[in-house]
Structure 1
C-alpha cells in the first residue's frame, strides 16, 4: 500500500496513525538538525539548505455577498498573490499546492489526506521542509460577508462548532495539524485559528476592530476634528449593520454579562474600534450625533445603540432617514446638516450614497477641508498634474440664521461617507467623492511576508528562523505566544486610488469609471 491509494485507504491510514500517536503520547520526534549556516535571506543560525521545500495552501472557497458587488478581499485573489511570492523566493511550481473547500468538513479531510500522504512518502526521513498554510473555513453570517472573505471572524470558533458534524470536522482538522507538527512539518494559520493548535506562525488579517478604527481615523482626519470647536461641532453618525443571533443564546448571555458570539461579536468589535478613535471627540463636544444614538456618556460596550439589522439596501436607506430625522415616507422632508457617516462596509455605503442623493444632498466630500479638487483627482488618476486647494478653517461658532451668516445650502452639503472592502462597484463613487474612503488588506505585502515566513520555516531549524524578520510581532494563539505576521490595512480615497489600487493591478481604469 502506497500513499497513492484511494481516499478511503488514506483516511484509514490517517486513523491508524492518529491512534498510534495517542497511544505513544508524543513519542515521535518533531525535527532534525544539522550544521548551522545562513538561509536564503542571509540570516545566521540554524540549518541552511538550497532546497526551499514545499508549501501546501488550504483556504475556504470564496463566499457570495448578498449584493451583486464584489469586494477585492477574496481568497481567490490572495492565493495567486501568495503563490507568486513563493515562486519569487525560488519555490518550484511543483512544490506549491493549493486547494479550496466549501466546508470545514471538506477542508479537514483535505488537510488530513495531505499530511498522511506526506508522512507515507517520506517514511524514515524528515518532513521539516514542509509548511502547511491553512485558513480555516468559517461560517459567517450575511452581514459579516459584506466585509469580504479575507477577514478574521470574531466568534468564528463558535460558528464552526454548532453541531456534531462541525465538531467532528474541527477535531479532525486539529488532529491532522497536530500530526503534521509531530512529524516535523510547520503550520501557518491564515486569518483564523483552530482550537488546540498553536501554529508556528499566525498571519493576522482584517479584524473587526481594525476595520472600525481605520474608518474612524480617516473621518477624524478629513473633518479635522482636532481643530473643531465645541461651539461649532461636527455631526457624525455610525451605521452599524449586523445579523442578530438566531439561537437565542447570545441574547440571553448579553443580558447579563454583555458577551456575544458570531455576527454580533463582529459588530461589537467593529464599534469598539470606531469608539477608540471617536470617543474622545464626543466626550469633548467636538462631535455630536444628530440622532442622539451617540453621546458623551457612550462607551465601547454600547454598540447596540447604533446597530441595525442588516438586510436589503432599503433597510440601510430607512435607517439613515431615521437618523437624520427625515423619515417621512410620504413627502420629501428636505435635508439637515450631517458632516460624516461611518457606514462600516461598502455595501452599506452604497445605500447611504443613494439615499443622500435622493434626499437632495449635493457636492462631494472633496469640498470638505479641500486639498484637491475632483478635477484634480481625475487628473491625478489619469497621470496628469494634481490641482491643490488650500484649506479653509471652520468658524469657531456655528453660523446662525438669525444673524444672516448661515447659508441655506449648508444643510444640503455632501458629508464624508466611509466604507470597507474596496468593492469594485464602489470605485466610481470614490472617484466622484460621494464615498470618501474604503479600505482593504494590503495583500501584496501580506503575501510577501507570508512567503518569507514559509521559506525560513523550511530552511532554518529552531527559533533561528525568526531572526531579521522585522515584520513579525507576537500575539497569543490558544494561550501561547506566537510569531505573527500583520500589516496595516490599506486605506484608499480618491487622492491615492491610483497608487494604491490601479498601479499594483488590483483594479483597472475602467473599474474606476475612467
Structure 2
C-alpha cells in the first residue's frame, strides 16, 4: 500500500475510533497496494446503495400490522433495479438495535473507503460491484414504546418521541415469524432493557457513524426517524403520530358529515388513546402527538356543538395538553374492553348509550372495541351509516364481480329518529338508534383484522404506501448518486426537525392510504399487499 493511501486509511480508522466504536471486520490490512490506472475502470452512473434497517418490531400480541421492515427492503431493492442499479451494487443489513446498527454502518464505511483508496475489492465486496458513488439508506433502529409499536414498524418519531424501551410487554408475544422460547425471549428483553438504560450514547454513536460516512464521500438518506445532531442528504418521513391522528379524525368527520349537520343532531364521538406508562413518569410523547393530530380536526366540531363525548371526557374547552383525559394504559387486552365499557355505561341492561364514532387509533385497539361493542349488544355495521353501501356490493367489488355504487345520501340536517314514520314511534326509534353500530377507525392494516372491514364492524384503517415510498426512494437515490438536485418526486418538501442539525433538508412525505371496504381491492389487493383470502373472501 502506498504511503499516501496508508495515511488516508489511518485517518479513517482514527475517525472511527473517535466515535467510540470498534472495527469488527477486515479493514486496511487486507488491501493491495496495486494502483488502478486512470480511466481503467468504467463505472455506471447509478453507483451503489446500502440499506440498513432494524429488525421487525415485536407487537403486543400476535396481531400484526401490514407494513414490516422485512417487507419494505425487497420493495426498495426491486425499485432500485428498475432505476438501473446493479444487483451487485445493492446491499442490505438488518440490525437488532441502534448500537449494533451504528457499528454495522461504521464497518461498511471503513471497508468501502479502504477499497476505494486501494482500487481493489475489499474482502466483503461483491463480484461485479461498481461503487463510485454510494448512498446509504438508513432507518435508525430507535427504541419504541409498547403502545407505539401497535402502529407498525414505519412510524416516524421526532427526537421527542423516540425513546428507550421502559418496560416489557405484559400480555405480549412475538409475531409468528419471530416466535422464540419464552424464557429466552424474556431474558433477551431483560438484557436489552438493561443495555438501553446503561448505554445513553446510542444516538451520538449513530450520528458519528453517519458523519463518518459523509466525511468519506458517501451520501445518507434517513428513513422514518431523524438522528439528533446529524443532517442527512434527504429524509423520508413515513407516518407520524400527528398524521395518524389526523387521517382518522378527518375520515370520521367526512363519514359522519360533521360539516353539514346541525347542533340539533350532534354526533357522539369518543377517542381511545393507548399509551405506555413510563418508569420515570414522563409523558408518552407519541400518544400526546397522536391526540393533537386528531383533536386539531375534531375540536372545531365540539366547539360548534355538532359533536360531543358521551363519557364527557372531551368538551369544547379541551386542549391538546389534556390528552391524558382520554388515554389508557395499553398492556393487556382487557384494558381496551374495560375502557370502552366504562365510557358507554348503561343505565340498565335494556338501554344503550348512543355512540356514532370511535377513533381507536390503531387496529389492535379497534379489534378490542369491536369485541366489546358486540358484547354490549350494539348491532349492525358501518355499512348502515350514511353514505351507505350494501355488504353484498362490498363483496362483489372486492372479488371483482361488480362495481361498487353508493346509495343516495339522505339529508344529514335531519336527525334519523325524527324522519318520516320514526317520529310516530319515538321510543322504539330512539332505542334502535342508540344500539346502532358506530363508525370505528384504526391504523396499521392488521392482516388478521381486515375481515372486520369487509363485515363493516371496523369502518376504516390506514397504512403507509410501502410500494409507492420504495419507488420514490429509489428515484431519490439515483438523483443523489448522479449529483442531480433532489427536486422530485411530487411529495418532496423542505423539512426541519427539532434537535437535528441543519434546516430545510429535502424531505419526502408519501401520502398515507385510508382503507375501507369500498376501496380494499384497489388499495391492498390489487397492489399485492394482501390476498382475497387475507380479506376473508
Structure-1-length-normalised TM-score: 0.85
> Which residue is 1:344 aligned to?
361
Mapped to 2, the partners of 1:387 and 1:458 lie a distance apart of 47
Q: CA deviation at 1:370?
A: 3.1
Q: CA deviation at 1:481?
A: 1.5
CA contact (8 A) 1:334 1:359 kept: no
Matching residue within 503, 507, 515 for 1:480: 503
> Which residue is 2:409 aligned to?
391
Q: CA deviation at 1:446?
A: 0.7
Mapped to 2, the partners of 1:232 and 1:373 lie a distance apart of 24
CA contact (8 A) 2:16 2:106 kept: no
> Which residue is 2:157 aligned to?
153
CA contact (8 A) 1:376 1:388 kept: no
> Which residue is 2:148 aligned to?
144
Q: Which moved more, 1:109-118 or 1:128-137?
A: 128-137
Deviation by residue 1:275-328 (Cα, 9 ceiling, x = unmatched) = 1110100000000010011111111221011111112221101100111113x9
Matching residue within 14, 17, 21 for 1:16: 14
> Which residue is 1:244 aligned to?
277
Would you say 1:72 and 2:66 are equivalent positions? yes
> Which residue is 1:7 aligned to?
none
RMSD: 2.7
Which structure 2 residues correspond to residues 436-455 of structure 1 after superposition, within 5 A? 436-455=459-478
Mapped to 2, the partners of 1:383 and 1:215 lie a distance apart of 27
Mapped to 1, the partners of 2:105 and 2:259 lie a distance apart of 51
Where structure 1 has 5 or more consecutive residues not aligned to the other structure, the ranges are 3-10, 23-47, 251-259
Mapped to 2, the partners of 1:72 and 1:455 lie a distance apart of 28
> Which residue is 1:31 aligned to?
none
Would you say 1:405 and 2:426 are equivalent positions? yes
CA 1:360–1:446 in 2, change beyond 3 Å: closer, same or farther? same
Deviation by residue 1:451-501 (Cα, 9 ceiling, x = unmatched) = 0111111112xxx42245433100014142100111110000000000000
CA contact (8 A) 1:70 1:423 kept: yes
SS at match of 1:302: helix
SS at match of 1:122: helix
Deviation by residue 1:83-139 (Cα, 9 ceiling, x = unmatched) = 111011111111111111111111111001000011100017897610011111111
Which structure 2 residues correspond to residues 22-41 of structure 1 after superposition, within 5 A? none
> Which residue is 1:199 aligned to?
232
Mapped to 2, the partners of 1:498 and 1:157 lie a distance apart of 34
CA contact (8 A) 1:140 1:153 kept: no
Would you say 1:213 and 2:246 are equivalent positions? yes
Mapped to 1, the partners of 2:462 and 2:496 lie a distance apart of 26
CA contact (8 A) 1:345 1:419 kept: yes
Would you say 1:290 and 2:294 are equivalent positions? no
Mapped to 2, the partners of 1:452 and 1:273 lie a distance apart of 30
Mapped to 2, the partners of 1:346 and 1:12 lie a distance apart of 52
Structure-2-length-normalised TM-score: 0.81
Where structure 2 has 5 or more consecutive residues not aligned to the other structure, the ranges are 3-8, 21-41, 120-129, 166-192
Q: CA deviation at 1:174?
A: 1.4
Mapped to 1, the partners of 2:198 and 2:308 lie a distance apart of 48
CA contact (8 A) 1:55 1:96 kept: yes
Mapped to 1, the partners of 2:487 and 2:383 lie a distance apart of 45
Mapped to 2, the partners of 1:402 and 1:441 lie a distance apart of 45
CA 1:500–1:311 in 2, change beyond 3 Å: closer, same or farther? same
CA contact (8 A) 2:250 2:297 kept: yes
Would you say 1:364 and 2:369 are equivalent positions? no
Q: CA deviation at 1:153?
A: 2.5
CA 1:14–1:229 in 2, change beyond 3 Å: closer, same or farther? same
SS at match of 1:100: strand
Q: CA deviation at 1:395?
A: 5.0
Q: CA deviation at 1:382?
A: 0.6
CA 1:345–1:96 in 2, change beyond 3 Å: closer, same or farther? same
Q: CA deviation at 1:15?
A: 4.3
Matching residue within 327, 330, 338 for 1:318: 338
SS at match of 1:301: helix
Q: Which moved more, 1:396-405 or 1:433-442?
A: 396-405
How many residues matched? Answer: 462
> Which residue is 1:82 aligned to?
76
> Which residue is 2:261 aligned to?
228
Q: CA deviation at 1:388?
A: 3.2
Mapped to 2, the partners of 1:244 and 1:375 lie a distance apart of 43
Matching residue within 128, 135, 147 for 1:131: 135
SS at match of 2:485: helix
SS at match of 1:378: helix
Q: CA deviation at 1:179?
A: 1.2
Mapped to 1, the partners of 2:162 and 2:399 lie a distance apart of 45
Mapped to 2, the partners of 1:229 and 1:164 lie a distance apart of 53
Q: CA deviation at 1:194?
A: 1.2
Mapped to 2, the partners of 1:504 and 1:186 lie a distance apart of 31
Mapped to 1, the partners of 2:439 and 2:476 lie a distance apart of 39
